[in-house]
Amino acid sequence: MISEMDKLFNEAHRSGLAIGELTLLTLSWAFEDSLLNWLEQHNFQPLKNRPNEDPISELKPQTRETANPFSLSATTGLDQQPLHTDGAHLRSTPDFVLLWSETANDTSTRVWRVPRIPQDSQNGVFVVHNGKERWLTQAYNDGTIRFDPGCMSPADQSARGLSRILTTPPEQEIEHIHWDARGKIVVIDNKRILHGRSRLSEGDNTRRLKRLAVKRK
């Protein structure tokens, strides 16, 4: 599967999203080390979502009470997450996000290929707050998107317009990634596509995904 990573990243770069499958052999303990080595050889830097986490983290359902207070789950709990950019709270957001499943589950991941933003909403300013500091940024910059309503607040009329666009996408434009087979892997262009977990399916409390965000060196 490591030999297939070139194809997945090329497809994600071209279209914004690539989906593949890991073999049972690839899912062995050596996969993560092999993946990190491949990324190093191809000049990608793994990024930590939070200082106390490893670059490769496990995503699991969290109630509002048990979630990290600065995470989306602290607001949404087991309900549907808003579509967002991974690492929007970081000064420099990841270029790509990898998600993969070691076991199948019934809760999909929603993805949206953000269309062209209207001119009057392109220059809006947002306040980013990550629990330690606040700063100003634009959500739209030369065709790329940084957006997470959990850590970004619109600071002007243009930003409020853009926030409305990004929080209420047409449902027919939403794609669903179904984790219906063990070993599915997804590469997302994090600066063009927003994503978020669907409402947790009944009985799916054991849902687990692995996540890794990377940036070009």
Q: How far apart are CA 192 and CA 72, in angstroms?
A: 20
User: Closest Cα to residue 197, out of 112, 114, 107, 113?
Assistant: 107
- Sequence length of the chain is 217
What average pLDDT does this structure show over 60-74? 89
**Mean pLDDT of the region 156-185:** 96
Query: Which tokens sit at 128?
Result: 């980013």
Q: Which of 216, 154, 163, 160 is nearest to 191 (CA)?
A: 216
Place 54 in a pLDDT band, splitting at 50, 70 and 90: very high
- Residue 71 is predicted with a pLDDT of 87
**Average pLDDT of span 47-53:** 88
At 41 the pLDDT is 95
Q: Is the pLDDT of residue 67 over 90?
A: no
Enclosing H/E stretch for 13: helix 5-15
Beta bridge partners of 193: 113
Residue 2 pLDDT greater than 80, yes or no: no
| Pair of tokens at residue 8 | 């997945």
Please answer whether residues 68 and 150 qualify as being in contact, where contact means their C-beta atoms are separated by less than 8 angstroms. Answer: no
pLDDT of the residue at 132: 86
Task: Give the pLDDT of residue 27.
Answer: 65
Instruction: Could you please state the CATH topology (level 3) that the domain comprising 2-216 is classified under.
Output: Double-stranded beta-helix (3.60.130)
Residue 26 has pLDDT above 70, yes or no: no
Q: What is the pLDDT of residue 70?
A: 79
Distance CA 207, CA 179 (A): 10
Q: Give me the phi and psi of 183, to 5 degrees please.
A: 95, 10
Residue that has been written with the tokens 């996969």 in this structure: 31
Write down the pLDDT at residue 35: 92
Q: Is the pLDDT of residue 207 over 60?
A: yes
Model confidence at 23, pLDDT cuts 50, 70, 90, reads: confident
Residue 5 has φ and ψ, to the nearest 5°, of -65, -35
pLDDT in tens, 80-122: 999 999 999 999 999 999 999 989 999 999 999 999 899 999 9
Instruction: Give Cβ neighbours of residue 112 (< 8 Å, ≥ 6 apart).
Output: 83, 169, 173, 174, 175, 193, 194, 195
Q: Is the pLDDT of residue 50 over 70?
A: yes
Distance CA 128, CA 161 (A): 17
Using one digit for the tens of pLDDT, what is the confidence trace for 106-163? 999 999 999 989 999 999 999 999 888 999 999 999 899 999 999 999 999 999 999 9
